[in-house]
Amino acid sequence: MIVVTRLNGPALTLSSTEIERAEETPDTVLTLVNGKTFVVQETLAEVIEQIRNYRVITARSRHQVGAEQHSHA
């Protein structure tokens, strides 16, 4: 999940796998796979960085769990 701030204020969390498209027009517009759109305060670069960081963290977590399960077998 990533945390973004709607242009009109409130923060929300989105699943990075549900984001179909992200554009700067000049505001950042996130379009989800279900067609819903959100205009957010973060720049496109900030959204991409959050997605990248989230994926790194989840990949490391999966790797650790796999290594722990393998060592206990």
pLDDT at 73 over 80: no
Average pLDDT over every residue of 40-68: 88
Residue 72, pLDDT score? 57
Encoded tokens for 43: 């720049």
- Measure the CA–CA gap between 54 and 15, rounded to whole angstroms: 10
Q: Are 60 and 53 in contact (CB under 8 A)?
A: no
Instruction: Give 62's pLDDT tier (boundaries 50, 70, 90).
Output: confident
Instruction: Give 60's pLDDT tier (boundaries 50, 70, 90).
Output: confident
pLDDT cut 90: percent of the chain above it: 75
Give start and end residues of each alpha helix (H) in 1-73. Answer: 44-72
pTM of this prediction exceeds 0.85: no
Encoded tokens for 34: 């279900």
